[in-house]
A = this chain, B = another copy of it.
Amino acid sequence: MNYANTLKNYDLKVTPQRVAIVQELYVCGHLNIDQLYNKLLEKFPSISLATIYKNMNAMIEKIFVQEVKIPNEKSVYELTKERHAHFVCECCKKIEDIHLDTDNLLTQVAQKTHYTINSTSLVFNGICSECAQQ
């Protein structure tokens, strides 16, 4: 993953702060604003929260990054990938991507509503196996 080139592909100027944001999202998968800010503080001790917000908004506008809204939790951000669902552990707050076959689901929605579906937001809350063992 070449972070700088990926930014360019999305029409975003390359700056060290942006590269670091992409890198953290790539490595960590899902981060909320505070987590991202704290990670970046290690590399850029004088980085501003305003910079984080401005960059997230710029990346969201280019659909390079997407916000994931989670019940009872702060929103997290992830690099745009192929459509997938999320599992959130209510205990350790871990978030995992789940790739599901949603053809049947979308067929049901189409039959019941006759609406055109453009995107989905599927979040499953529960207890992960690590937390369940304790």
In the assembled complex, how far is the CB of residue A76 from the closest CB belonging to chain B, in whole angstroms? 12
In the assembled complex, how far is the CB of residue A103 from the closest CB belonging to chain B, in whole angstroms? 10
- Is B118 touching A90 in the complex (CB atoms < 8 A)? yes
Partner of A125, one of B87, B102, B120: B120
Q: A114 — which chain B residues lie within 8 A by C-beta?
A: 129
With A67-B71, A71-B69, A115-B89 in contact, is A125–B121 under 8 Å at CB? Answer: yes
- In the complex, A127→B116 CA distance in Å? 5
The answer to the question of A47 belonging to the interface, with a C-beta cut-off of 8 Å to chain B, is no
With A71-B69, A105-B102 in contact, is A124–B120 under 8 Å at CB? Answer: yes
- Is B113 touching A98 in the complex (CB atoms < 8 A)? yes
